[in-house]
Structure 1
């Protein structure tokens, strides 16, 4: 049985990856410091012999006994609310955490896949964004701690590949949604659904003309799985190229929920990207991958998940990180 370490395993994407690798017959070693993750996302796996969990911060030295075939490094705050509140930790997990994971991969002879993001493109001047575009990022803006952490992650991963011959993969993840997202994490989709569930007006920043491209989580996990098992070491965009403005998306959510609240507009946050759409030609060509789940279907599944949560979850406030250093 092959063994895989998944960091950030109690988070939204990490927990779905745990499910997929268990399904594929792997022994899964899950790791999370639970700053933004939640054990509820993986508690259904604790009874399995082929699953184990380590409560650990990957920014500190990582020790894993025995052989290791694969590492998937997904530990990181991933929403503006989180990384604006814990900027130092965001930088540390992208820099020191990635360094530790790469060192472990080198020691174990493991293949490592690191989770980069469309945010490395910043507020793009090229549309749609292909892997050859270098981005338009403000390194000293409020989003810089996340954007630059991911850009550094890609650089050090390529350095370990070329200098130490570590087998590496880099996935650039575009907006993803589905069950286990947090309603209060500040991203558009859970924010809209949370407001609709609470009977609040939906908040759109700017004039709503800025665009996003939403990929359902099952499609994303399939793309990541294929990339890991490929032999391609350069970055690959994984996302859904079906682009929509945030104003139109808010109206879709209202139609789905049957809610009669209004859409209200607030000032656009600093450095908020105006356009986000992946060019996925590499994923199609190299991995034979493209998204399958229609947004209407995926939204319905996601809304049903959120609606099934206890009402206390609808009103739950974002985590406070005052004690984190």
Structure 2
């Protein structure tokens, strides 16, 4: 890949993905519809990436993507932009319309990586593979299920190479506040999430679905019989076809996150003192 587009580029996952792409010398067309009331963290993320000449930020909504010069010359697009969960019921149809319009602008064989959620599986028992029946029981899960189905259909119609990546909760530096309320043992660290997305973008075969297992899932797959209560993600497809395995265990990941928080607070105090 030489030139890619990332929607939701200033979000948590988008920011880290853009940094990874830039570090590998890949030109990034970043798209994010910025809110008027921005946090210091969002401003800092924009500042850090804006220093790189390979980074081009477009403050646009998805339905304006066609206005970007040479949009049809990108190798891949990572669709990470997400709606406010409180507004999902009202925005699903509008997002689908924007996605269809976006895909129609892409030339054949462009790679499209859509970030979905393991919430599409709902409450199931035992080992869950990517081919499991989807039974979402949350607003987010139902939204992602609709988006997955439509994106796969639009991509096939336009001969776009689509990969859908279902993620558990992701944590790490710059994580959203709501992440602190989840079970970290079932989550994956941000660098593992980004690595999974990069591996999915390199798949030549399209119309595939992958999920990114956590260490919890790996441990369950190796040690726990399916007859026990609860569920865990199958690790075989992502490992065999993508070469994906998480690298950062929870203890290490939380240590990195806590160090980031400490350094960020120091920076904020310094800026206040010099302001």
Structure 2 residue 190 is the aligned partner of structure 1 residue 237:
no
Q: Distance in 1 between matches of 2:146 and 2:88?
A: 15
Structure 2 residue 234 is the aligned partner of structure 1 residue 279:
yes
Task: Find the counterpart in structure 1 of residue 226 from structure 2.
Answer: none
Cα deviation for residue 306 of structure 1 reads 2.1
Secondary structure in structure 2 of the residue aligned to 1:293:
coil
Assess, with a 3 A threshold, how the Cα gap between structure 1 residues 300 and 94 changes in structure 2: closer, same or farther: farther
TM-score by length of 1: 0.69
Which aligned segments of 4 or more residues in structure 1 are displaced greater than 6 angstroms? none
1:175–1:212 contact (8 Å) kept in structure 2: no
Assess, with a 3 A threshold, how the Cα gap between structure 1 residues 13 and 276 changes in structure 2: closer, same or farther: farther
Q: Distance in 2 between matches of 1:212 and 1:308?
A: 24
**Unpaired segments of 5 or more residues in structure 1?**
193-209, 244-273, 314-325
Q: Distance in 1 between matches of 2:88 and 2:82?
A: 11
Assess, with a 3 A threshold, how the Cα gap between structure 1 residues 101 and 119 changes in structure 2: closer, same or farther: farther
TM-score by length of 2: 0.80
2:130–2:211 contact (8 Å) kept in structure 1: yes
Aligned length: 250
Task: Find the counterpart in structure 2 of residue 148 from structure 1.
Answer: 142
Task: Find the counterpart in structure 1 of residue 197 from structure 2.
Answer: 224
Cα deviation for residue 278 of structure 1 reads 2.3
Secondary structure in structure 2 of the residue aligned to 1:310:
helix
Cα deviation for residue 235 of structure 1 reads 0.5
Structure 2 residue 134 is the aligned partner of structure 1 residue 135:
yes
Cα deviation for residue 148 of structure 1 reads 2.5
1:45–1:51 contact (8 Å) kept in structure 2: yes
Higher mean alpha-carbon deviation, 161-170 vs 285-294, is at 161-170
Assess, with a 3 A threshold, how the Cα gap between structure 1 residues 76 and 291 changes in structure 2: closer, same or farther: same
1:18-29 aligned within 5 A: 18-29=18-29
Cα deviations across residues 239-268 of structure 1 (Å, max 9, x unaligned)?
31416xxxxxxxxxxxxxxxxxxxxxxxxx
Secondary structure in structure 2 of the residue aligned to 1:170:
strand
Task: Find the counterpart in structure 2 of residue 71 from structure 1.
Answer: 77
Assess, with a 3 A threshold, how the Cα gap between structure 1 residues 90 and 76 changes in structure 2: closer, same or farther: farther
Assess, with a 3 A threshold, how the Cα gap between structure 1 residues 29 and 242 changes in structure 2: closer, same or farther: same
Q: Distance in 2 between matches of 1:275 and 1:118?
A: 14
Q: Distance in 2 between matches of 1:22 and 1:100?
A: 27
1:302 to 257, 260, 265: 257
Structure 2 residue 4 is the aligned partner of structure 1 residue 4:
yes
Task: Find the counterpart in structure 1 of residue 50 from structure 2.
Answer: 46
Assess, with a 3 A threshold, how the Cα gap between structure 1 residues 120 and 169 changes in structure 2: closer, same or farther: same
1:293 to 227, 236, 248: 248
2:165–2:197 contact (8 Å) kept in structure 1: yes
More helix by share: 2
1:172 to 157, 163, 166: 166
2:152 to 153, 158, 161: 158
2:185–2:250 contact (8 Å) kept in structure 1: no
Q: Distance in 2 between matches of 1:287 and 1:61?
A: 29
